[in-house]
Amino acid sequence: MKFRQIHLVSRPSGPAASLDNFAVVSCALPASTATMAKNSVLVRNAYLSLDPYMRMRMSDVKSYAAPQPLNAPMLGGTVGQVALSNFDGLKVGDWVKLQGGWAEYTELPGKACTKITVNKDVPASAHLSVLGMPGVTAFYGMRHLIRPKAGDTVVVSAAAGAVGSCAGQLAKLAGCRVVGLAGGADKCAVVVRDFGFDACLDYKAHATPKELQESLARECPSGVDGYFDNVGGDVLNAVMPLLNPFARVAVCGAIANYQAAKPVPLLQPNLILTSRLQLTGFIISEQPKKVWDEAQAELERLVAQRTLKWKETVEHGLENAPKAFLSLLRGGNVGKQLVAML
């Protein structure tokens, strides 16, 4: 029997990735545990997580992650069910979270899988969004770096995305005024109506960073105490002058730079001193287990209480992962971008 993987077969030649950077590759499934490594499992992946950081790894440039190897499966997080097991800790049918890559099946050491609970309140896919990397990213950036107090004003970019939507809700729970930034009127409506932000500005409806800054200033009459930055670039430049003394900026993503020919400069770095700002870049996968455990416990509690909302944009079929990924980079998603392979 065969299954499919998506390989990176070429690196983007310019700023933008394209469909021909990817290829579907057919592979043989192990017929039984007899042909599998000791203590390994075969997982049938149900959902693949697509994330903006993957674009950085497609290019062979210095970044926090090693470049994605060529002619090998694209890396990525998945959830799925164990299909074959010769590992004592997991049996066929168990739901697990893993670095399964862009693949319908993954064979890997059993201890590299994390068993997850799937029930009517918590679908399998939630472990890739609100309870997974995006949720923990939002939690760490908001609770550990922005540390909002009741009455603070917090701005969140890419507010309709998996990370931003969660980050903004956590700031609302802390008693803040929360203003989102998103691309398009539809997304802004979702951010306010479904995620409960106080306001959301459509950055695409502003012709210049200056206009965006003026709109944002109107929505933040007491200035900005925390900025959860998923995009960098012009939006960061628009937010900077509105930051209050001692404001914190959690630098979580830089979508604006991932497909740009060169980085957008920060126009007023002098504000770091004059407004006594703290800007901290972070990658959640590097945080210790303690941070993940604390975040996941709290997020599970909030999900169980139905206090925390999340959304998904689901593409069906692994062969459509490249298309869905390029759409994600253009902001085509609301909430977590997933590929379903069930």
Q: Which stretch binds its own copies (CB under 8 A): 114-122, 134-142, 188-196, 267-275?
A: 267-275
* CA separation for the pair 12, 41 (Å, rounded): 34
* CA separation for the pair 305, 311 (Å, rounded): 16
245 scored as a contact of its own copies (CB under 8 A): yes
* Selected binder of its own copies within 100, 164, 183, 232 (CB under 8 A): 232
Alpha-carbon dihedral sign for residues 200, 202, 206, 209: positive
236 scored as a contact of its own copies (CB under 8 A): yes
257 scored as a contact of its own copies (CB under 8 A): yes
Which CA distances in Å does 200 have to 120, 130, 177, 188, 190? 31, 20, 11, 5, 9
Which tokens hold the place of 324? 């869905």
Backbone angles phi, psi at 275, to 5 degrees: -100, 5
Q: Which stretch binds its own copies (CB under 8 A): 79-87, 102-110, 156-164, 272-280?
A: 272-280
Size of the site for its own copies (CB under 8 A): 34
Which residues 6+ apart lie within 8 Å of 297 measured at CB? none
- Taking only Cα atoms into account, the Rg of the chain, rounded to an integer number of angstroms, comes to 20
* Selected binder of its own copies within 25, 112, 217, 272 (CB under 8 A): 272
Binding flags for its own copies, 183-222, as an x/- string (CB under 8 A): ----------------------------------------
Q: Are 73 and 100 in contact (CB under 8 A)?
A: no
* Selected binder of its own copies within 132, 253, 331, 335 (CB under 8 A): 253
In the bound state with its own copies, the residue whose beta carbon lies nearer, of 282 and 292, is 282
The footprint of its own copies on residues 53-82 (CB under 8 A) is 56, 62-64
Footprint of its own copies (CB under 8 A): 56, 62-64, 232, 236, 245, 251-254, 257, 263-283, 286
